[in-house]
Structure 1
Amino acid sequence: MSVSVAPDDRPVIAHTGPWYFPIAFLARLPFAMMVVGVLTLVVSVTGSVALGGLTSAAVGIGTVLAGPIVGDLVDRHGQRRVLVPLGLANSALLASFPFVVSVLPPTWLLLLAALLIGTSAPQAAAMSRSRLMAIIRERLAAPRRARAFSRTMAYESAADETAFVIGPVVVGVLASFIAPWAPIAGAAALSFVFVTAFALHPTARAGVGPDDGPAEIAPARALLRLPVVVLVAATFAVGAFFGATLTSLTSFMAEQGDVDSAALLYGIMGIGSAVLALAVAALPPRFALRWRWMLFAGVLVAATAAFTLSTTVSAVTVALVIMGLGVGPTLVTLFSLAGARAPLGRTATIMTVLGSSVALAQSLASAVTGAIAEELGAAAAMVLPLVAAALVLVLAVANLGVERGMRRTAVPERHPLTPSLAPTPDLG
């Protein structure tokens, strides 16, 4: 049963407790590790890059197939009831995957095992966003909510950026110094310990009613509205950017004879991205979200164009730093808009859908970019991040039209900090 807490002036961390944030961060690492970990293990055992890419893509497809279902179950029954069995299942599937690969099964069985791993992925990042939004809405005094929401979304996006950078690095370190199966075993252990701890944390009760579900919930068809779809498409493009950038960068560094430094350079982009994502919280509220999306997507396109044209390691490094300054704030903006546009009682669903879009796009883009790099070289592969970045900008322009249509038809948009479905001030 949900515990009723009177709103007060304390900060968010006073309501979550100091251990919530490290637990929530570590709980999202398995999700960040599994795509790269599966790719590394399959390529190491089978020697086939194509099969490795196909298998990692199956993980991403699994997350997308399950994402809306998991989000719907959480919105209806609460996080604890869903995440505990899901985390345990994911841990077991990850732990068994090295044994499955070692017997060199038929391709369909290998792909099925990878698909099940993706299907059972708990997506702690999406759940954390949904949980913290509920805490802000229910437990913080009204004057504190807007700034707390901005800061929280900035932190969550920075944590995602950091996890997506640390995940591949951890995979590389474990695979290099222990064995190719070690990253998958590590992800299984993290899922067993920290996803379970995250699911059982007292904050999991936020946002649920007496029956462990919301008092009201919008129909699933509300998620198919254009204002939501444009955000899903944009997060897909951001995921494609991540996958294409990492893979093309790896190919470029391999041609330079220093492939081991690819993860380090990618980390430089991720660090800058995470830092500026946090800085978004300091932007004034009058700097509307729709214009933030336009601005930072423009920065991303310009920097990625420089990356595409770079021929030296130093030029690539500078481009990566600036790319990070564009992609981090863009991701913060997209999730903030998603919080504002989530239909009533559907916050967890929309967050899991967006998280699934990133994961699927990352894995598909990695596979496609790897194939192009193998056939045409790094220079051709380095065009793909620019295509993904340009799509983010095109969707930012499309979003301006979507918002004009919302205002013209007076479509009510639920404020992320209020429980009722009522018209609100322009948040975008």
Structure 2
Amino acid sequence: MVGPYRGLFSAPGTRGFVIAGFIGRMPMSMLGIGIVLLISALTGSYATAGAISATVALAFAIAAPLSGRLVDRFGQARILVPFVLLHGAALVTLMLCAAYGAPIWTLFVTGVVVGGSANSLGSMVRARWSHILGGSARLHTAFSFESVADEVIFVAGPALVTGLTTLVNLYAGLILTLVCTVAGTLAFALQRGTEPPSRPGPAQSGSPITIPGVALLSCVFLAMGAVFGSVDLITVAFAEDNGAKAASGLLLGSFAGGSMVSGLWYGFHAWTISLRHRFVRSLAVFAIGLTPILLIADTKIMAVALFFAGLAISPTIITGYALIERLVPAHLLTEGMSWISTAVGFGVAIGAWAGGRLTDSFGASNAYSFSFVAALLAVAIGVGGNTWLRTPEIGSSEVTSTAT
């Protein structure tokens, strides 16, 4: 599997922005669960914890396309630096409000600023790959690599923040989250050599969301985000119900581990099936894979089930970004990719809120039904509108040569 990935880092500067981008987006798997662990421990309510986590995700979802448009217009560095400094200050304020028992509404207010100032760094890393590789066949491999990197983050991040929060200090997980996001994002922004040029585009250019295929992908990823948000929160409660709350990060890491393995395989494979058909098939496998978690009451068996449930995540996300790259004009690429982050963010907000409510009302095992229904909805949307995802078939970029 290593073969296709060997030539990715030959271009000057690629290693630097990949490493910085990896560190800077570590918090995407740590922030939500860190907030849930902190607030649920302080208030004793998963509904409150889920609502605050949902507020952060919702604010990010609203702001991501706007910051993406600013990046396309003014460049990454000029937008990333002030945003990440504001984000860091807001996260410190949220932790201080929690530490000193400030009214609950202050946590929601600071949560809005935390989410609204967060950067969609994964989109910007992929935009750099697109700038460096252009229409090369290696772009598929680069997107696959980044999806694998995302899943490494989702394997390590939840386990790390859960361990720090439950075994060291309630605030330790969020402190590490703060350090990673500020240090990694600043290091990424300062690497100007690989930064894509700003592309203001025509003054009258509209938003990528008006493109039918982008709108469809956004709806699919909204439903998938609801799965992610609900599984994150419900799994913490499931582990606690089984007397193993500290293992909740490992359970979520297992979910991401399945996706990481499939991402490596997907990037290695030479594909002849069209992107849209790959996308639809991945969605179907995703829904099927979630079925067993509805029936499991044992923590160890759940870890195995979550691993298999995660196998379809990377292929779906990789093909989603590849479709966006073909559907969206170059001068709107970052904003177009940010719509995936926005859709997932909205979905995570809905999933965290619904998961918290259902967990408090019906128990964690029953609350997983929501995750399954959201996955079925993603499949229904993707299958029903897949004709909007037709893109020109580019022979050299449609497959990844194993000889690369």
Query: Structures share a fold, TM > 0.5?
Result: yes
For residues 319 and 284 of structure 1, do their structure 2 counterparts lie closer, same or farther at Cα, with a shift above 3 Å needed?
A: same
Give the unaligned 5+ runs of structure 2.
1-6, 399-404
Match of 1:14 among 11, 14, 37: 11
Which has the bigger relative contact order, CA under 8 A and spacing at least 6?
2
Per the alignment, residue 132 of structure 1 pairs with 129
Per the alignment, residue 6 of structure 1 pairs with none
Distance in 2 (alpha carbons) for counterparts of 1:203 and 1:261: 42
Distance in 2 (alpha carbons) for counterparts of 1:42 and 1:268: 24
Q: For each residue in 1:281-338, what CA deviation from the matched residue of structure 2 results, as whole angstroms up to 9, or x when unmatched?
A: 2333421111112222222222211222334445433422221211221111111111
Per the alignment, residue 401 of structure 2 pairs with none
Cα RMSD between the aligned structures? 2.6
1:156 to 2:166 alignment: no
Q: Would the aligned equivalents of 1:100 and 1:110 in 2 still touch at CA under 8 Å? A: yes
Per the normalisation by structure 1, the TM-score is 0.84
Distance in 2 (alpha carbons) for counterparts of 1:51 and 1:313: 25
**2:305 corresponds to which letter in structure 1?**
A
Q: Would the aligned equivalents of 1:343 and 1:414 in 2 still touch at CA under 8 Å? A: no
For residues 222 and 186 of structure 1, do their structure 2 counterparts lie closer, same or farther at Cα, with a shift above 3 Å needed?
A: closer
Quote the offset at 1:23 in angstroms.
1.3
Q: Would the aligned equivalents of 2:30 and 2:173 in 1 still touch at CA under 8 Å? A: yes
Q: Would the aligned equivalents of 2:77 and 2:192 in 1 still touch at CA under 8 Å? A: no
1:40 to 2:37 alignment: yes
Q: For each residue in 1:90-130, what CA deviation from the matched residue of structure 2 results, as whole angstroms up to 9, or x when unmatched?
A: 11222222112233333333211100000110221111111
Q: For each residue in 1:181-202, what CA deviation from the matched residue of structure 2 results, as whole angstroms up to 9, or x when unmatched?
A: 2222222222221110011113
Match of 1:304 among 274, 278, 290: 290
Q: Taking every aligned residue pair, what percent have the same amino acid on both sides?
A: 26
What SS class does the counterpart of residue 310 from structure 2 fall into?
Answer: helix
Match of 2:185 among 195, 204, 208: 195
For residues 13 and 93 of structure 1, do their structure 2 counterparts lie closer, same or farther at Cα, with a shift above 3 Å needed?
A: farther
Give the unaligned 5+ runs of structure 1.
1-9, 408-412, 419-424
**1:137-216 alignment to 2 at 5 Å?**
137=134, 145-146=136-137, 148-206=138-196, 208=197, 212-214=198-200
Match of 1:261 among 237, 240, 247: 247
Per the alignment, residue 370 of structure 2 pairs with 384
Distance in 1 (alpha carbons) for counterparts of 2:130 and 2:290: 33
Q: Would the aligned equivalents of 2:274 and 2:393 in 1 still touch at CA under 8 Å? A: no
What SS class does the counterpart of residue 143 from structure 2 fall into?
Answer: helix
Per the alignment, residue 235 of structure 2 pairs with 249
Match of 2:379 among 393, 400, 411: 393
Distance in 1 (alpha carbons) for counterparts of 2:176 and 2:60: 19
Distance in 1 (alpha carbons) for counterparts of 2:23 and 2:274: 32
Distance in 2 (alpha carbons) for counterparts of 1:163 and 1:323: 17
Per the alignment, residue 75 of structure 1 pairs with 72
Distance in 1 (alpha carbons) for counterparts of 2:30 and 2:251: 18
1:106 to 2:103 alignment: yes
Distance in 1 (alpha carbons) for counterparts of 2:67 and 2:75: 11
Distance in 2 (alpha carbons) for counterparts of 1:242 and 1:271: 14
Q: Would the aligned equivalents of 2:208 and 2:332 in 1 still touch at CA under 8 Å? A: no
What SS class does the counterpart of residue 184 from structure 1 fall into?
Answer: helix
Is the deviation greater in 236-245 or in 113-122? 236-245
Q: Would the aligned equivalents of 2:50 and 2:355 in 1 still touch at CA under 8 Å? A: no
Q: Would the aligned equivalents of 1:87 and 1:122 in 2 still touch at CA under 8 Å? A: yes
Quote the offset at 1:14 in angstroms.
2.0
Q: Would the aligned equivalents of 1:94 and 1:187 in 2 still touch at CA under 8 Å? A: no
**Who wins on radius of gyration, i.e. which is larger?**
1
Q: Would the aligned equivalents of 2:129 and 2:142 in 1 still touch at CA under 8 Å? A: yes
Match of 2:85 among 77, 88, 92: 88
For residues 277 and 70 of structure 1, do their structure 2 counterparts lie closer, same or farther at Cα, with a shift above 3 Å needed?
A: same
What SS class does the counterpart of residue 118 from structure 2 fall into?
Answer: coil
**1:347 corresponds to which letter in structure 2?**
L
Distance in 2 (alpha carbons) for counterparts of 1:346 and 1:239: 23
1:63 to 2:35 alignment: no
Residue-pair matches, total: 392
Distance in 2 (alpha carbons) for counterparts of 1:42 and 1:166: 21
Is the deviation greater in 379-388 or in 157-166? 157-166
Distance in 2 (alpha carbons) for counterparts of 1:414 and 1:292: 13
**2:267 corresponds to which letter in structure 1?**
A
Q: Would the aligned equivalents of 1:223 and 1:343 in 2 still touch at CA under 8 Å? A: no
**1:388 corresponds to which letter in structure 2?**
A
Q: Would the aligned equivalents of 1:12 and 1:135 in 2 still touch at CA under 8 Å? A: no
Q: Would the aligned equivalents of 2:46 and 2:360 in 1 still touch at CA under 8 Å? A: no
For residues 198 and 41 of structure 1, do their structure 2 counterparts lie closer, same or farther at Cα, with a shift above 3 Å needed?
A: same
Q: For each residue in 1:221-261, what CA deviation from the matched residue of structure 2 results, as whole angstroms up to 9, or x when unmatched?
A: 44222111111111112221222223333333333333332
Distance in 2 (alpha carbons) for counterparts of 1:153 and 1:240: 23
